[in-house]
Each structure stands twice: as structure tokens, then as C-alpha cells.
Amino acid sequence: MFEVKFGTPKPIMFREYCVYGDNILDIDLEARFAGKCEVSEYDGSRYGNDEEVSLFIKQSCSEILEKCLKNLPEKKSVVRSHFYGLDGLFSTELESRGITAKTEIILKNLTEDSQTLYDEALKVVTTQPTDFGWDHVNFDQVPSRPEGMYMVSPAFLFKYKDDRVFYKPGERVEVDYFGVASDTSYQVDVNAPELRVEYGSVIHITFTMPDHDVYISIGAQSVMTCMPGNMGITGMMGMGMGMNIGKSVVSDGSEWTCPLCGAGNKGNFCSECGGARPQNS
């Protein structure tokens, strides 16, 4: 078994569905993707050695991802909820090409224009009232607490899978935070048991509801390039969300290897897949 890291040098277009309650808006976006494959076996009559398999995956990843994105189920989001099985589709496509591998898509960076378009689309769908008793943007409309239930604190840029904020103890809760920036690293803290956090273009949070209210805090640190001497940015404190942004990382011009796709670089972002330079590189 061996590992192959890959990244798409050019953005790939896909259809994105912004869903919020009953509101749905579909838009076309572009993004660069990066991932890794754990190859367990391959067709020896098609590939001479591990290096040939690795080269094929790296050279074909854009073509394969484009096909996978077109075959996603109807109205399934690419940006949210960890790509909805995109990595599984990639593995299936590799198998049809004589390669057995487990794939993980670990990074997706929207282009600047697509990020702007996506943010505007979210504003459209999230500012409409929903059917579950309150508007996520207007905190003054939070309904009264049902008996025997506890609240997951409402906050802007959070989306609750079940479209509700009150849960009984023992229920499994799923929350997405979609205010993620591609040039920022995040750390989630939740005062609830059995916590699981998936970091990506959307931070997917799951936990078991305890017998008390739950508060979600998200700490963030910018890794965006800035000029030496610039001050760090201090984030805002929001309802259920605390954000502390520290000093930006400044490149010293030294070479580093991208941990996502394996490309060599000198700047703060990978020239192949767009991944951020690790802070210890």
C-alpha cells in the first residue's frame, strides 16, 4: 500500500445548491481540489510500478473530479457536509481504471469570484423566514423553550441539520458552520459529549445533546499573506461564536513541500492546489 497526494492546478466548475429550509438557489462555482489516495493494488498489465500509478492519478485527477462532480446526486451540495461522497465517487472511477484505492478529498478552495457569488447566494437564502419558528438571522425571534429540552445557542453562519435549536438529552445534533475562509485555520470548542468535528470548506460538527444548553465557539487564525509590520486582526465576538485571529504568516522565501499534493513551493500558498503553507514550514 502506498499514498498518492494530488491537486487540481486549474479550477473546476460545478453546480452548487444553496439550501436553507425550503429555500433553494443553484449556482455555478469554480474551485481547486486536493486529496490523497491510499492505493492497495493495481492492474499490473496497465501500470508497470507504483510510480506509474502515482503519475496517472496526479495527471488524471482533474478529469476524474470533473466527471465525479457531474455525477453527484441531484441538489447535493459540494461546498457543505464534506462533499457528499465525492471521495467515494473518485475511488470508483479509479477502480474502473484498474486502481483500487481509498480516496479522501481534503481541500477545496473556491476562486475569488466564486466565493463572492456563493456568499451572495447564502445571503439570499438565509434572510428568508423558515418554517421552524424563527429566522436564523434575527435572534429576537427565537421561540420559547419546549419543556424537557435544551438549546444549542443560535448564531449567524450556523446551520442546524434538523432546522431546530432545541433537543432532548441524548439526541444526536448536527451543525454546519459555513463562514469558513480558505486562508484561515479554525479550532472548535463545544461543551457537549461525543464531539466530532470535520474541518473543510464547511466545518461539520456533531455531538450528543447533554442535559444543559450547549454553546459552540470557533477560534480562528489567519494564515493570509501580509506585509511585515502589519497588525493582526481581532475578530468579533458573536452569539455562540468567539473568533480570535492572530498575526498573519509571512513567507521568508524558503522552499516547502505541500502536504496535500506534494508540490514544491516558495510562497504562502501552493501553486498547484492552493493549499496554505503549514505554519511550521
Distance of alpha carbon 23 from alpha carbon 16, whole angstroms: 14
Place of cell 488524471: 60
What is the reported pLDDT for 238?
Answer: 32
pLDDT at 206 over 80: yes
CB atoms within 10 A of CB 41: 11
Beta bridge partners of 18: 25
76 or 245, which is more confident?
76
What is the reported pLDDT for 241?
Answer: 34
Task: Give 254-270 pLDDT, tens digit per residue.
Answer: 788 877 677 787 766 66
What is the reported pLDDT for 132?
Answer: 39
Q: How far is CA 192 from the centre of its chain?
A: 22
C-alpha cell at 147: 419543556
DSSP string computed for 112-157: HHHHHHHHHHHHHHHTS--SSSS-TT-GGGPPPPPTT-EEBPP-TT
CATH class of the domain defined by 2-117:
alpha beta
The answer to whether residues 25 and 115 touch, using CB atoms and an 8 Å cutoff, is no
Distance of alpha carbon 148 from alpha carbon 166, whole angstroms: 9
What is the reported pLDDT for 222?
Answer: 58
Q: Residue ranges of the domains in the chain? A: 2-117, 134-222
Distance of alpha carbon 279 from alpha carbon 268, whole angstroms: 9
91 or 24, which is more confident?
91
What is the reported pLDDT for 199?
Answer: 80
Q: Is 31 helix (H, G, I), strand (E, B) or coil?
A: strand
pLDDT at 81 over 60: no
- State what percent of residues in the chain have pLDDT above 90: 26
What is the reported pLDDT for 157?
Answer: 66
Task: Give 147-161 pLDDT, tens digit per residue.
Answer: 888 888 755 567 777
62 φ, ψ to 5°?
-65, -45
Whether the model pTM is above 0.75 = no
Mean pLDDT of 40-44: 95
Task: Give 105-142 pLDDT, tens digit per residue.
Answer: 877 788 888 888 887 877 776 654 444 333 444 434 44
